[in-house]
Amino acid sequence: MAAVHAFNKCRFRVLNPLLFLLLSWPAAMPAVSAVSAAEEGFCSISPSISGPTSRSLYWKVSNPTLSPSHLQDLPGFTRSVYKRDHAVIAPESQVFGPLNNWVNTLGAYLISPAMGSHFTMYLAKMQEDSRSALPAKDVERFVFVVEGMAVLSDASGLNHQLGVDFYAYIPANSMHSLQSDSMATLVIFERRYASLDGHYPEQIVGSTDEQPLLEIPGEIFELRKLLPTSTPYDFNIHIMDFHPGEYLNVKEVHYNQHGLLLLEGQGIYRLGDNWYPVQAGDVIWMAPYVLQWYAALGKTRSRYLLYKDVSRDPLLCF
């Protein structure tokens, strides 16, 4: 009798609906190994290219896929969102098309005045024998290479090779061109220059590693500024590095606008009352005075590139 009672008790446990669902779940979902899940995490990106030798420094920016793997083919799924004072644009939502007057280049405008910004941010994917066009009159340009190699030819006739992690600032109305003999991916910021009498910015070409780490009182992340902090420059580009578990101490609210590209890693970004999981390849727009905060998650460094308007009285911008 005791044996029958034990059998019935065991059978009841197996037929318990919740336990049955848990036992059935792995068979109903695509196979994802425990090791893979532990290594990748929810926000990680699976590569669409194979082999470690084909991975450049920021390979996740230009080769993104949804993750975990059982979401890759889920129709309609995206983390992208657009609101009045911010936007998160995940890679699966980026739409590429021909860039006006560029040769053999596709572009995706990710931030533009249509959403309320006073600058544009776009990705330019250059193909073989590609060439850029000039920006509009009085528009300055900043270029950062995330994949491949491009050559900047400037007004003085000099050529500058720009590899991954290299960048260039070109003042408004400066003659120049960007060319590539093979595939290259650039992130480009453009805005109408807010001129001040007696102040004239100069062309700058450099690389991230050349820039010193700056002290940030009260913060623990690492900061590099790619442009001078002097008055001639009306915006700057920051490179910000967070080790896993690090976060912004200040919950920022300010008049400056931001355009952000997450180059490496993953984390949580707070924008207003919204909390977004983000990963390499994501783009974020932050309007003036939106509450913003970031924390790095996962097992690897987070690095993002950040546009910020600076050195101008807000009254002069309207």
What is the pLDDT at residue 177? 98
Q: Tens of pLDDT along 227-284?
A: 999 999 999 999 999 999 999 999 999 999 999 999 999 999 999 999 999 999 999 9
Q: What is the mean pLDDT of residues 199-205?
A: 98
Q: Tens of pLDDT along 125-183?
A: 999 999 999 999 999 999 999 999 999 999 999 999 999 999 999 999 999 999 999 99
| Pairing outcome for strands 235-242 and 302-309 | antiparallel
205 vs 40, residue with greater confidence: 205
38 CB-near residues (< 8 Å, 6+ apart): none
Domains of the chain, CATH where assigned = 59-64+80-309 (2.60.120.10)
What is the pLDDT at residue 144? 98
d(CA 6, CA 20) in angstroms, rounded, equals: 19
**Amino acid, single-letter form, for residue 30:** P
Helix-helix angle 2-15:17-28, to 10 degrees: 50
What is the pLDDT at residue 183? 94
Which helix (H) or strand (E) segment holds residue 10: the answer is helix 2-15
d(CA 242, CA 219) in angstroms, rounded, equals: 10
Q: Which of these, 65, 59, 56, 122, lies nearest to 92 by C-alpha position?
A: 65
Answer whether residue 36 shows pLDDT above 60: no
d(CA 139, CA 193) in angstroms, rounded, equals: 6
C-beta separation of 160 from 205 below 8 A: yes
How does residue 28 score in pLDDT terms, banded at 50, 70 and 90?
very low
What is the pLDDT at residue 10? 41
How does residue 72 score in pLDDT terms, banded at 50, 70 and 90?
low
Provide the percentage of residues in the chain whose pLDDT is more than 70: 80
**Amino acid, single-letter form, for residue 39:** E
5 CB-near residues (< 8 Å, 6+ apart): none
C-beta separation of 243 from 219 below 8 A: no
Q: Looking at the chain, how many residues does it have?
A: 318
d(CA 163, CA 141) in angstroms, rounded, equals: 17
What is the pLDDT at residue 8? 45
